[in-house]
A and B are shown apart, each in its own frame.
Chain A
Amino acid sequence: MTEMSLDEAAEMIKDGSLISLSGNLLFRIPAAFVRELARQEKKDLRVMKTAGGYDVDLLCGLGCVKEVIAGFVSFEVFGLAKNFRKAVEEGRVKYSENTCYSVIAALRAAAYGIPFMPIADISRSYFVKERGFKFVENPYGGGKVLTVPAIKPDYAILHVQKADEDGNALIYGPWFEDVLMARAAKNIILTAEMIVPTEELRREIDAVWIPKLKVKAVVEVRNGAYPGACPPYYDMDFEMMEKYANLDEEELKSHIWEVRP
């Protein structure tokens, strides 16, 4: 059985793991899972995502993170990700800054089973050197090509709308990098708004792009993206996000116990 409780699933994540998180900014983020990671006081996590929001910020603010690999971390209309900023400014978290495109390239290389991915020339951006991205000679002629090394997450943590108890899952609406992450990662943990019978999931087979392979845990978590949005079921909680954006350190610590799951 792959179906289990949220705390059992979070226990699979060891300190120091490289995890990639689903969704984008405040959309379909694995918020409940991330809160559980914080409640279990994980340490030294390496967190990967193209554009993080509440999820990355919360883990940074509660001391769970060693490194963030991302192109952007912010709350869009709710302002800047205060805890992420502070952690980076004080040197508690290393921000391995990328652009969304190079995060995708690193995941693509891992998904394709190859060591690196050639990308368009973005070498005038300062982080290219800082990340150590290297040019190689195009073996077919035409000069040099910039490359990005593969990054293979230990776990892709995906919040989806529906899954079955074995871990087959569908995503409604934009995938963002989630299907790619699922291909790239060694293991997958799913939280789902609903766990439905396999026959029911099959009726929507056109949306089922996460097969049970590599899925180590599936957890039913209603409102699992809260205070983020999980369309078509619910929008973000504007009031809670505004409140969250202004929590002080002590309030952040109690936030993860007050907001359940």
Chain B
Amino acid sequence: MNLLERANYMISAMARLLKDADSAFMGVASFLPFLAIAVTKRLYNPDLVWYSIVGFNPNPYRMPMSTVHPLIAEYCDAKLQLAEIFDISARGELDVVFLAGAQIDSRGYLNNSHIYINGKRLQFPGGAGGALLHATAKRPIVWQGKHDPRIFVREAQRITAAGKPYRVFTPLCIFRLDRELGRLVTDSIHPWSSYEEIKEKTGFEVNDAPTTPEPSDEEIEIIQELDPKGIRQLVLQ
């Protein structure tokens, strides 16, 4: 299965999770969340409130090369300044937030700060708005375009953002947080991967799980319409 088709699986699964969501926010470089929110709003949940950094309820006809592009604001219902996103979440009014993690640990905490390898510092960009959003949004959805044991670790060296993720999307599987165990468990495995592969490439204990359902033709059609050039596969490269 090529990268575009794999991205479609992830987008479809994200979109279906948003069927009962009240609101969702995506930040920078969030191509999969962007398309997932757009699909959900068209097919499943037209009333979903879509917060972006540049405006309230965008109605994009295509996805630009940046998910904070002012172009997205062209067809918004209202203006929204970046600072307000954080206020909305701090007030407890944000349901879903999409967050990326350079490192994601078994508790669902994110490290976007830095790590030390043999005493040498490796600097990440920083967690942007993640610290506040992970801690205060109702259902954080975490995603990452790669899956290896350096990314999915038992305990992150630094905690940039702490919170309880609703789901964690990887190019191999979907994790969810088992609240009793206090750690991530496998919720579904993408059809091109396997329990064995996830076990090998994850730095914490994992379990077997059912296969991630395939995207529908309707979903793929919308994804293709908004992203005809396949920008979405960039995050999986």
Contact = CB atoms under 8 A, between A and B. Distances in A.
Interface in B46-103: 53-55, 65-66, 68-71, 73, 79, 81-83, 86, 89-90
B128 A100 contact: yes
B126 interface: yes
A108 B81 CA distance: 14
B130 A99 contact: yes
Given A24-B82, A125-B160, A125-B161, A72 B65 contact: no
Interface in B13-51: 28-29
B158 interface: yes
A120 B90 contact: yes
Q: Which size class do B's interface residues fall under?
A: 35 or more
Contact of B28 (A76, A84, A180): A76
Nearest to A107: B83
Contact of A70 (B126, B158, B231): B126
Interface in B113-154: 113-114, 120-123, 125-132, 135-136
A242 to B, nearest CB: 11
B129 to A, nearest CB: 5
Interface in A103-160: 104, 108, 119-122, 124-127
A177 B86 CA distance: 13
Contact of A89 (B65, B82, B123, B135): B123
A62 B71 CA distance: 32
A119 B90 contact: yes
B121 A99 contact: no
Contacts of A95: 123, 126
Interface residues of A, number: 46
A74 interface: yes
Contacts of A177: 82-83
Select the residue from A81, A97, A99, A236 with max chain B CB neighbours within 10 A.
A99
B222 interface: no
A72 B28 contact: yes
A77 B83 CA distance: 23
B234 interface: yes
A84 B90 CA distance: 30
Contacts of B131: 71, 99, 101-102, 122, 125, 127
B142 to A, nearest CB: 15
Given A89-B120, A89-B122, A27 B135 contact: no
B54 A173 contact: yes
A121 B162 CA distance: 11
A97 B125 CA distance: 9
B235 to A, nearest CB: 9
14 contacts: A50-B128, A73-B125, A76-B29, A77-B234, A97-B160, A100-B128, A101-B131, A124-B135, A127-B160, A173-B73, A174-B70, A180-B83, A229-B69, A236-B66
Interface of A: 24-27, 50-51, 70-74, 76-77, 80-81, 84-85, 88-89, 95, 97-102, 104, 108, 119-122, 124-127, 173-177, 180, 229, 231, 236, 238
Interface of B: 28-29, 53-55, 65-66, 68-71, 73, 79, 81-83, 86, 89-90, 109, 113-114, 120-123, 125-132, 135-136, 158-162, 231, 234
Given A100-B132, A173-B54, 15 more contacts: A73-B125, A74-B29, A85-B123, A89-B120, A100-B82, A100-B129, A101-B132, A102-B132, A120-B89, A120-B90, A122-B132, A125-B161, A126-B160, A175-B81, A176-B81
